[in-house]
Amino acid sequence: MSLAKAEKILEANDLVIKFGLRGQTLTAIRGASLDVFEGETLAIVGESGSGKSVLTKSFIGMLDRNGWVDSGSIIFEGRDLAAFRDEKQWLAIRGKKISMVFQDPMTSLNPLKTVGAQIAEVYALHRGYGPKEAAAAAVEILGRVGIPDAGKRHKQYPHEFSGGMRQRVVIAIAMACAPRILICDEPTTALDVTIQAQILDLIRSLQAEFGFTTIYITHDLGVVANVADRVAVMYAGKIVECGTAEEVYYDPRHPYTWALLSSLPQLGIKGKPLFSIKGTPPSLFKEIEGDAFAPRNPYALKLDFVREPPRFQVSPTHWAATWLLDPRAPKVEPPEIIGQLRDCGKSEAACADLGGGRAGR
């Protein structure tokens, strides 16, 4: 699909989200800006605690009670979601226009209600269906997400379904009211590998059929490579690099993205220890000066510790926030593996060396 023509469906601008924790204030999102385009599949990647879940939760007003949007805006359908204060306003968005699929299907369903009833609840709520209509619609969507014999199985309880089947039910719930945006928070992490692929395929085929926009949250770069049109890399509450999947995979610019890709086991060289990023992410209780990644970044410039890097546009669809992209910055060679990836992006042959080319698409 051509991203240039696509319309923005959601736009987060300079979003700051804070949490009150034991008298201290934690800044989980430190001015993140993100555009989401109609119909695309966007993946947000980053390590645990980078704020990817918090960011997307703020799109449906599901921050924990001690969290709040401090500044910035989330523009969706001409309204600023960040300005919502009333739970009632959210009810028109949450589950209706934007819905979410959670990580663990084993615990996301109410164990004491039939799966049919849990889906029907959505139809009754958002579309005002009567009990019979809602039940019939539930059976239909269950069939659509690939539950065999849906006419019978809608009367069963979650414990009678396997993990993969339950995730299909959860997806059916999220799909029931034809949302415009589907947020998938690590939808396959709790599933085994064969089922993972099936679930990703299911989401993709539903997307093709209904034309919604998907946002994946994941730390599994393998999943990203399989499904994403665009990738946003998050670190310490900020988006540090964003571009099409090809650009981020084959031509990454931010040292954090380099480090992330280098630690992929698929790209590791047999016999050599696996690369890992030294150090720990910064404490979000304190004000961070300069680039948050600088202390762990072997390529960090002096400037990185003092001043926060702005966005540098690499291509119309690709940008990264690192001083290395400033014209005045010294030329830095990325790690060897990143160089190989770059070659791989240019020619098929170069991919052969790369762990069987599995990082490619």
Partner 1 sequence: MARYVLKRCLQSLATLFIVVSVVFLLMRLLPLEGYFGDGYDKLSPEQRTAALQRMGLLDPWYVQLGNFYVRLSRGDLGTSIIYRRDVPVTEIIAPRIPYSMYFGVFATLLALALGLTLGVFMARRKGQALDKAGTAYIVLINAMPSAVYLLFIQLYGTSLFSLPILFDKYRPNSWILPAISLSLGGIAGYAMWIRRYMVDELNKDYIKLAKAKGLPEKLIMVRHVMRNAFVPMAQYLPAAILSTIAGSIYIESLYSIPGMGGLLVDVIQRQDNPMVQALVLIFSSVGIVGLFLGDVLMAVFDPRIKLVKGEGAR
Which residues form the interface with partner 1 (CB under 8 A)? Answer: 60, 62, 87, 91, 93-96, 99-100, 102, 104, 107-113, 121-122, 125-126, 157, 159-160, 170, 173-174, 177
CB of 315 to partner 1, least distance (A): 35
Beta carbon nearer to partner 1, 51 or 158:
158
Is residue 27 classed as helix, strand or coil in its secondary structure? strand
Beta carbon nearer to partner 1, 50 or 167:
167
Residues near 256 by beta carbon (within 8 Å), at least 6 away in sequence? 233, 235, 240, 241, 293, 297
User: What's the number of CA atoms in the CB half-sphere (13 Å) around residue 36?
Assistant: 28
Q: What are 27's strand-pairing partners? A: 18
Beta carbon nearer to partner 1, 18 or 96:
96
CB of 79 to partner 1, least distance (A): 16
Beta carbon nearer to partner 1, 171 or 242:
171
Environment class of 86 (CB within 10 Å of its CB; exposed 0-12, middle 13-18, buried 19+): exposed
CB of 61 to partner 1, least distance (A): 9
Give the whole-angstrom CA distance, residue 154 versus residue 277.
Answer: 47
Q: How far is CA 285 from CA 18, 55, 67, 278, in A?
A: 10, 17, 14, 21
Give the whole-angstrom CA distance, residue 290 versus residue 309.
Answer: 7
Beta carbon nearer to partner 1, 30 or 126:
126
CB of 171 to partner 1, least distance (A): 11
CB of 188 to partner 1, least distance (A): 16
Residue with tokens 């969290």: 67
Beta carbon nearer to partner 1, 118 or 262:
118
CB of 122 to partner 1, least distance (A): 5
